[in-house]
Amino acid sequence: MKLILTWLLHAAALLALAHLYSGVEVKDFRTALAAAFVIGLFNLVVRPALVVLTLPVTFLTLGLFLFIINALLFWAAAGLLEGFQVQDFGSALLGSLIYTAFGVLIDSALQRLFSPKTL
């Protein structure tokens, strides 16, 4: 149940992002669901490999290169899906930062909602 709710809220976050920032466009909620799924899949499968492969660069930039990796994955997801568009790399960078901020808020809220209550 928590996984489905997380997926739905991340899709809603993508729609909110598209509404707030003109560099990212999402056609409808169905497209947002697909985009949230693809971004989540990329973060689960591709991101760890990229982090390991770019470890020296990430170390030299004191971790700032991770923002580039996130932007590239966000941009790649937009390239795979019809109806989800990112204008350029700068838009992907800013869009991924805003989407990540929404994700942190969503995960924090869901953690409080689904945490066991102690009396």
- Of the given ranges (77-81, 82-86, 113-117), which has the lowest mean pLDDT? 113-117
CA distances from 109 to 33, 48, 105 (A): 20, 25, 6
What percentage of the chain's residues is helix, strand, coil (to nearest 5)? 75, 5, 20
Predicted confidence (pLDDT) at residue 119 exceeds the cutoff of 80: no
pLDDT-derived band at 118, boundaries 50, 70, 90: low
Segment 39-71, tens digit of pLDDT: 999 999 999 999 999 999 999 999 999 999 999
| pLDDT recorded at residue 114 | 85
| pLDDT recorded at residue 15 | 96
Distance CA 18, CA 115 (A): 31
Collapsing DSSP to helix, strand or coil, 22 comes out as coil
Domain boundaries, the chain: 2-113
pLDDT-derived band at 117, boundaries 50, 70, 90: confident
